[in-house]
Structure 1
Amino acid sequence: MTPTAKTLVSIAALSAALSAAAVSASTAKDAAFAIPAVAAPQISVETLDSITRELSSDAYEGRAPATAGEDKTVAYIIKRFAEAGLQPGNKGSWTQEVPTLEITGSNYTPLTVKVGGQALSFAYGNDYVAGSYRAVPETRLADAPLVFVGYGINAPELGWNDYAGIDMKGKIAVILINDADYDAKDETGPFKGKRMTYYGRWTYKFEEAARQGAAGALIVHDTFPAAYGWNVVHSSWSGAQLFVQSADNGMSNTEANGWIQKPVAEAILKASGQDLAALTAAARQQGFKAVPLSATASFGFDNAVKKTVSRNVIGILPGKKRPDEYVLYTSHWDHLGRCNADKTGDDICNGAVDNATGIAAMTAIAEANVNAGAADRSQVFLAVTMEESGLLGSKFYAENPVYPLARTVGGVNMDALAPGSAARDIQATGGDKSELTAYVNRAMKDMGLYQSPEESTEKGFYYRSDHFSFAKLGVPMFALGRGSDLVKGGKEAGRAAAERYTVNDYHQPSDEYDPSWDWSGPVQDTALYYRLGRMLAMTTHWPNWHKTDEFRLIRDKSLSGK
């Protein structure tokens, strides 16, 4: 089937191709509430192809927020939402304004470290990257003492505090990426073993360093625990950095945040009479004490500060029975804009897979729901901005919801639907966290799929997409997708394709549309997301997190006032 043909693909055909797949058995508790039957949708390949092709074209310049590329992107999404049959979702408007702070660094000095009577110099870009979250014209850190703070975690509920007994005022924290048991063989350990917790994410580490009063924070990059290479760090931290405006203009943050290459950290610690490997081993033990280094660091840069506005795009399909109860579909429209040029001189990070495909899938789901007729509950389609800047668009909506979170039943997030073969399995990011698992089991049974264990749990994918903004405020969100057991090539082919994208294309100019793509995999993903959302929209059930989950208490509090 050619992707340019205006073809509607029935998932019933895919299910037949997957008839040999094992089916995940429903658990006894799945039967505690009724899950309505949902007919197999018809997903438009033309919609998936045309939207992905359009949004990832050079005309959109990489879809950076608060640029001309945003204006084109927002206008195009509104056009496609309207054509799909949605209504404006924000009191007659298609958009929600997100007040944005854009800071672009320039004139970076080397990172100069004075230690043991010598001066070490490290180049911006190749050795370190940095930026400021503060709306100030320049950033200068001069001879700031360096302190190795292990994983930079303060977790009172675990009796763990890497900052215990140290005053960080005026100092720069040197922090390990991930958390203390990321390379465990299982999920046993204070930080869930190999499964990354939020304490392992770089965003948390900068937040905690600021709470501790540090002048700066430098994360030590290591490819495996970070889950991506230095090329991703370098590309992501190049050019304008975006934030949501705050009342204090970001002054509650550190003066500067950044990353250093692992060899840079090794050199600094060696000159300080320390060993990175030995300190890393010590940092994995509860009771670790921060280690002041006999070194100071200096670096600086200028900041071009601009206040502007970005936009979330919101469409709605009102419910026919309970229109004041909402099911949410989320997907981010933004990407990196212009980034580090590749060897051909191409400096546009087009973001075809990440995440033009997600917007395409969400629009195809809207079309399928309109064709099926309005569901009992309202369905909200939210295309968010600034995901690449730290989930900021979804965070802004979650904190300033158009539709109250207490009336939001749950939702489905879509991010980076890789072209290629359909699969025999699915993987749930974050594991079994809520009663949404029952809906997943039903969808797998209907589609002839099985669930395989989540791979690479140490990479913390649960904290790296927009569902997390809603989960941490209590809303149960589906975060899952195609597994690696591909119909064409099996697990070996699936894992190779994922590795190839991560190493070669993720956050690079090479993430571009290809007219030869196989759309069977994204069609399968989209049909799964449709089923899950439609089930929620047709039931009277209000799913909750499991009693032991970290988001349960906030959801209970939210629902108590529903």
Structure 2
Amino acid sequence: MKMLAATAAIAVTMPLAAQTSDAPAISVETVRGLTETLSSDEFEGRAPGTPGEELTVTLLAERFAAAGLQPGNNGSWFQEVPLVEIDANPETAALSYTVNGDTVSLAYGSDMVIGTPRVVPEISVTDAELVFVGYGINAPERGWNDYEGLDMTNRIAVILVNDPDFESPTNEGIFDGRAMTYYGRWTYKYEEAARQGAAGAIIIHDTAPASYGWNVVESSWSGPQLNIQAENDHMDRVPVEGWVTNEAARAMLAAAGQDLDALTAAAREQGFTSVPLGITASASVENTIRRENSRNVIAILPGTTRADEYVIHTAHWDHLGRCTPAPDGDDICNGALDNATGTAGLVALAEAHAAAGPSERSMVFLAVTAEESGLLGSAYYGANPVFPLAQTAGGINMDGLNILGETRNVVVVGYGKSELEDYLARASAAQGRVVEPEPSPEAGYFFRSDHFALARPGVPMIYAEGGEDLINGGPEAGAAAAMDYRDNRYHGPKDEYDPNWNWDGAIQDLELYYAIGRELANSDAWPNWYPDAEFRAARDASRPPSE
């Protein structure tokens, strides 16, 4: 979940925005009640493969059935998602570097977190040379290759987070200026390091370009890590992946006679040449491995005249489960905002559409697993779709609802990418709201929620939500609440349900999603990505524009 304008307990008592004239009321009782239940300690943070999953998926199936929907997967409410859990032993996980015969060991958790995506009981990398590879990008279409001329055999890549022009004041630049491209995501950096044959890939954390603090890295990367099962047990991945704190990285680079700030400045220039550091590092990890199936939950409201065409709504039901304890000892990451609210909103939307009766196209409601582990549930659905992607007209993703009250604006994550923004503009205008680009495109929110896993194979998806311009409090209050959430609750034990939350903004946004979904489901149009969007080719390949 990557909220833009969420969360503090700010009471707002403005009237709800006018609904679409033929729309049933969105049930605030459903949204509030399900959020409270899903984020209760009984559900233990809804981690896949735990008793919390069983409680969650059972409850969702029951609620979809009660709303009058049908099981979406050939008579079943569930799509099995084969996962493998790798749990690195923090007591033995080690990362050290050696300079002039002296070895410096980094502390797990406070200095670094490491693991391996390979499904093996143990792995080690010994005396591998560290190489600073800047942003770790190989993008020939942009004239950029940080690995130019490098042989990464028995070398560990040391990588900066985000992409080279993230500090740009505009969205113009080699890497879209301030707006992060996929080259800026940590997932890409590990993927590229593997393609380069590296023995390891270590990302230097920095709060501003990462858009979250070290606490989020530590909480998200420690403990069991999930991946989709693969026949090759992911042996094509980098043997060791991890992060180091900014402070630990500075000390390591200084020991190699280098300065992090100077290297970062150089790495932002086209033609940058990677820098072998002349020091070696060793890393080792011991794992406990468990294979398991998790589940996506799929419900469908069959269409009337074009039942073989689909509009999809997505939200992830999972969160982090047990995590790094707060100072008070609370070790349950309840995920109330992220994403119990979005999951509850998915059910509330399903109820409203069912109450209105079937649309011309079928409407699919997909609650996916393992978003927090790398969009695994949505990626699995994208690779194994129950409903053909070429026959899916488009979709709407929800990843955290607004619990601050109504807003004057709507922000689009990944603004300017698809024709679904025209649908959003019409629905927003009916509410008297303005549509704006996301305020922090450098944070890469577009790549951090489930719409991305469906966009990559070409399905037009929109991810939009209430912005920071609160009717009661204005943009200053909205921005302050967003920062407070990011710093104090995001991916931590204090993302908990608060009975003082105001749900008017959530209902306002759900009415927006209802209007978009209903218009698309009663249309024969096939919206596409804009011509310069990176997903246009995939859509055109699966569904040529002439169709």
Same fold (TM over 0.5): yes
Distance 1:496 1:108 in 2: 40
Give the corresponding residue for 2:56.
73
Task: Compute the displacement of 1:152 (Å).
Answer: 0.2
Q: 1:198 aligns with which of 182, 185, 196?
A: 182
8 Å contact kept, 2:304–2:359:
yes
Give the corresponding residue for 2:239.
255
8 Å contact kept, 2:30–2:344:
yes
Distance 2:21 2:92 in 1: 56
Q: Deviations over 1:337-363 (max 9, x none)?
A: 100011111111000000000110010
Give the corresponding residue for 1:91.
74
Q: Deviations over 1:88-115 (max 9, x none)?
A: 0000000000111000010334421101
Determine whether 1:314 maps to 2:298: yes
Determine whether 1:42 maps to 2:25: yes
Determine whether 1:517 maps to 2:519: no
Q: Deviations over 1:291-346 (max 9, x none)?
A: 11111111222100111101100000000111000000000000001000111111
8 Å contact kept, 1:97–1:312:
yes
Give the corresponding residue for 2:106.
122
Determine whether 1:340 maps to 2:324: yes
Task: Indicate the SS of the match to 1:509.
Answer: coil
Distance 1:345 1:63 in 2: 19
Work out the number of aligned pairs and report it: 532
Give the corresponding residue for 2:454.
470
Distance 2:537 2:450 in 1: 20
Q: Which amino acid aligns with 1:413?
A: N
Task: Indicate the SS of the match to 2:178.
Answer: coil
Task: Indicate the SS of the match to 1:14.
Answer: coil
Task: Compute the displacement of 1:118 (Å).
Answer: 2.5
Task: Compute the displacement of 1:543 (Å).
Answer: 0.2
Q: Which amino acid aligns with 1:236?
A: S
Distance 2:475 2:390 in 1: 40
Q: Aligned pair in 2 of structure 1 residues 242, 109: CA closer, same or farther (>3 Å)?
A: closer
Determine whether 1:15 maps to 2:17: yes
Q: Which amino acid aligns with 1:421?
A: G
Give the corresponding residue for 1:352.
336
8 Å contact kept, 2:94–2:285:
no
Segment of structure 1 superposing worse, 282-291 or 144-153 = 282-291
Distance 2:300 2:18 in 1: 33
8 Å contact kept, 2:116–2:285:
no
Q: Deviations over 1:152-211 (max 9, x none)?
A: 001011111101101111111000000000001111110000000000000100111011
* TM superposition score normalised by structure 2: 0.95
Give the corresponding residue for 1:457.
441
Distance 1:191 1:210 in 2: 22
Q: Which amino acid aligns with 1:427?
A: V
Give the corresponding residue for 2:119.
135
* TM superposition score normalised by structure 1: 0.93
Task: Indicate the SS of the match to 1:308.
Answer: strand
Q: 1:221 aligns with which of 159, 183, 205?
A: 205
Distance 2:260 2:253 in 1: 6
Distance 1:80 1:444 in 2: 29
- Percent identical pairs in the alignment equals 56
Q: Deviations over 1:55-92 (max 9, x none)?
A: 11111111110111111111011111111111000000
Q: Which amino acid aligns with 1:199?
A: Y
Task: Indicate the SS of the match to 2:354.
Answer: helix
Distance 2:126 2:530 in 1: 49
Q: Deviations over 1:192-243 (max 9, x none)?
A: 0000000000010011101111111000000000000000000001111000
8 Å contact kept, 1:116–1:272:
no
8 Å contact kept, 1:266–1:276:
yes
Task: Compute the displacement of 1:289 (Å).
Answer: 1.4
For residues 535-554 of structure 1, the aligned pairs below 5 Å read 535-554=519-538
Determine whether 1:401 maps to 2:401: no
Distance 1:135 1:382 in 2: 29
Task: Indicate the SS of the match to 2:237.
Answer: coil
Q: Unaligned regions of 5+ residues in structure 2, if any? A: 1-13
8 Å contact kept, 1:38–1:531:
no
Q: Unaligned regions of 5+ residues in structure 1, if any? A: 1-11, 18-36
Distance 1:375 1:125 in 2: 51
Task: Compute the displacement of 1:129 (Å).
Answer: 0.2
Distance 1:333 1:550 in 2: 28
Task: Compute the displacement of 1:437 (Å).
Answer: 1.6
Determine whether 1:58 maps to 2:60: no
Instruction: Provide the aligned C-alpha RMSD in A.
Output: 1.4
Task: Compute the displacement of 1:285 (Å).
Answer: 1.1
8 Å contact kept, 1:108–1:299:
no
Q: Deviations over 1:445-478 (max 9, x none)?
A: 1111112332011000000000001111111101
Segment of structure 1 superposing worse, 192-201 or 38-47 = 38-47
Q: Which amino acid aligns with 2:67?
A: A
Give the corresponding residue for 2:10.
none
Q: Which amino acid aligns with 1:88?
A: P
Give the corresponding residue for 1:105.
88
Q: Aligned pair in 2 of structure 1 residues 16, 93: CA closer, same or farther (>3 Å)?
A: closer
Give the corresponding residue for 1:5.
none
8 Å contact kept, 2:23–2:352:
no
Distance 2:82 2:319 in 1: 18
For residues 154-165 of structure 1, the aligned pairs below 5 Å read 154-165=138-149
8 Å contact kept, 1:429–1:462:
yes
8 Å contact kept, 1:41–1:530:
no
8 Å contact kept, 1:486–1:493:
yes
Distance 1:418 1:500 in 2: 14
Task: Indicate the SS of the match to 1:66.
Answer: coil
Distance 1:87 1:330 in 2: 16
Task: Compute the displacement of 1:548 (Å).
Answer: 1.5
Q: Which amino acid aligns with 2:121?
A: P
8 Å contact kept, 1:102–1:243:
yes
For residues 149-548 of structure 1, the aligned pairs below 5 Å read 149-548=133-532
Distance 1:16 1:546 in 2: 31
